[in-house]
Homo-oligomer: A and B are copies of this chain.
Amino acid sequence: MVSEFSITRTVEFAETDMAGIMHFSNFFRWMESCETAFYRSLGLPLISFVPGQVVGWPRVNATCDFRAPLRFNDTVEVRLFVKEIRTRAIVLLFQFRKTTKGKADPEICAQGEITAVCVTHDGKGGMTAAPIPETFRAKVRIAPKAAWTVE
């Protein structure tokens, strides 16, 4: 069972804005990229059109604190922590960690969360929130708070 995951990614030119930094909306896209890679690593799809399977994980909330800007060509670790697993929803916490030469600890440039609801086909052609299936719960567990807490 896994409670953490990370990807490493470099800021692209198209992700910057005229203030010379990564546009804040792209932090949310990076969180989703990390979430996608996390689920892919577990053989769990982010979205599925297979009948009987979980259809997807629509977001009910997304939030991000921005502490330091990211710039073109910055390479950053996006680290995911499973913060909560509710009956029908999951809360994922993400830290954007940038390592600077000469510093031991990476700087947390941003920290955000995505709350997503498990949705399945309702058998009538629509979709409905549903309990997270056991196949999913068998692979994912909650990370201890200490894991993402920085003193």
Contact = CB atoms under 8 A, between A and B. Distances in A.
Interface of A: 12-14, 16-21, 23-26, 28-29, 32-33, 36, 40, 46-47, 56, 58-67, 69, 72-73
24 contacts: A12-B32, A12-B33, A12-B36, A13-B17, A13-B23, A13-B32, A13-B36, A13-B46, A13-B47, A14-B17, A16-B17, A16-B18, A18-B21, A18-B47, A24-B28, A24-B32, A25-B29, A25-B32, A58-B66, A58-B69, A61-B63, A62-B64, A62-B66, A63-B64
A65 B73 contact: no
Contacts of A63: 61-64
Nearest to A71: B18
Contacts of A13: 17-18, 23, 32-33, 36, 46-47
A80 to B, nearest CB: 15
Nearest to A65: B61
